[in-house]
Structure 1
Amino acid sequence: MQQVPYMKNFNIKVLAPENWALYKSVRLESLRDSPDSFGATYEQESALSDSDWQARLDLSARGLVAFPLVAEQGGRAVGLAWGVIHATEVETAHIYQMWVSPAARGKGIAKALLDEIKTWAIDKECDCLALDVTTSNEAAVCLYRSSGFMAMGPPVPLRRDSFLMMQPMEMALHSVAESTF
């Protein structure tokens, strides 16, 4: 696992296939803690086999361009985020599974995860970052807005038959001036 140290007493690591148990643990914790923030549910993902979890991090076998990150503090996983570039839309990097544990919120971890994915997306020559945020999650909406994301289109349901809504958001990675030269 590649490790990036931060001054605020946490590290961000890139998850490798051998880190599947750590990934499983933090992903399930995120779904338990924040069930209204994700399209997937704890019930769906807790039913996955260990080989399913291993396969998720085997990016080359899946033909997936992705950047799965975990934030650790004091030897414990406290944050998660994935950057993903879909083959059908290589100009956009998507952010999925963004979460920080309640005890670690407000310490710059979410911003650091966003910054790591932004840097990765720029290195991959993407033009923008995209994500969906549950509209009732005011802290996340504020974080994304203050980071440069803008609402794109109308909100959509979080899940089929859900009253919760997600707002698609995007951030341009290059200014118009940069793209004309």
Structure 2
Amino acid sequence: MSELDIKILTPEDWELYKTARLNSLKESPDSFGSTYNQEAALLDTEWRSRLDLKFREIDALPLIAEFKGQPVGIAWGCIHKPNLKVAHIYQMWVSPELRGKGIAKSLLLKIEGWALGRRCSLMVLGVTTSNEVAVNLYRSFGFVAAGQLEELRADSPLLVQPMTKELNHAV
């Protein structure tokens, strides 16, 4: 996929981010803790501020995958204080028509490289148990089930499996 571009989102990219995020929530409503209606109601200033990492004082890597100039994938890496050794993965999504083409693995590799550069020893994520394709993707990337199943959202019948991947630092 030579026309694939993965880049780090900045506050100036807020409209691109908003488009990709809302597309992900609409297309895969059972994959995220948030909902399309919740995020569609956000003001443009809120979308922009999500990407203002310095102002928010968070260590994050918000990524967008574009194919032929169109947003087709999204993923966030994030490190939460006080545990600076754990990189969380959020908002992972690839457009259905381009799934199976390596975009998700490319996003995961970027986050893994970023996490290694920050000396993290673990990557963690949650995946809806009914999404077998996503579960298999994460397993193929070295993630293993870890911990108890959790509700996707309050009162949701869907369950999320926490998964982890240990990171090995080259000596």
Give the distance between the partners of 1:9 and 1:137, measured in 2 at CA.
Answer: 28
Structure 1 match to 2:137 = 143
Give the distance between the partners of 1:101 and 1:88, measured in 2 at CA.
Answer: 34
Give the distance between the partners of 1:10 and 1:55, measured in 2 at CA.
Answer: 26
Of 3, 8, 12, the residue aligned with 1:9 is 3
Give the distance between the partners of 1:102 and 1:80, measured in 2 at CA.
Answer: 12
Structure 2 match to 1:112 = 106
Query: Normalized against structure 2, the TM-score is what?
Result: 0.97
Letter in 2 for 1:76: Q
Letter in 1 for 2:151: P
- Mapping of 1:84-95 within 5 angstroms? 84-95=78-89
Structure 2 match to 1:157 = 151
Give the distance between the partners of 2:2 and 2:38, measured in 1 at CA.
Answer: 34
Structure 1 match to 2:76 = 82
RMSD between superposed Cα atoms in Å: 1.1
Q: Does 1:29 align with 2:53?
A: no
- Mapping of 1:40-51 within 5 angstroms? 40-51=34-45
Give the distance between the partners of 2:2 and 2:102, measured in 1 at CA.
Answer: 8
Shift, 1:11, TM fit: 1.0
Deviations 1:124-160 (A, max 9, x none): 1000100000000000000000100010012111001
Question: Does structure 2 conserve the Cα–Cα contact (< 8 Å) formed by 1:78 and 1:104?
Answer: yes
Shift, 1:8, TM fit: 4.2
Letter in 1 for 2:166: A
User: Identity percentage over the alignment?
Assistant: 56
Give the distance between the partners of 2:61 and 2:33, measured in 1 at CA.
Answer: 19
Letter in 1 for 2:108: L
Give the distance between the partners of 2:4 and 2:100, measured in 1 at CA.
Answer: 13
Letter in 1 for 2:52: D
Deviations 1:111-136 (A, max 9, x none): 00000000000001000100000000
Q: For residue 17 of structure 2, give the secondary structure of its aligned residue in structure 1.
A: helix
Give the distance between the partners of 1:108 and 1:98, measured in 2 at CA.
Answer: 13
Give the distance between the partners of 1:64 and 1:75, measured in 2 at CA.
Answer: 28
Query: Normalized against structure 1, the TM-score is what?
Result: 0.92
Q: For residue 60 of structure 1, give the secondary structure of its aligned residue in structure 2.
A: helix
Q: For residue 33 of structure 2, give the secondary structure of its aligned residue in structure 1.
A: coil
Question: Does structure 2 conserve the Cα–Cα contact (< 8 Å) formed by 1:8 and 1:107?
Answer: no
Shift, 1:65, TM fit: 0.2
Runs of 4+ in structure 1 deviating by more than 2 angstroms, as ranges, are none
Letter in 2 for 1:72: E
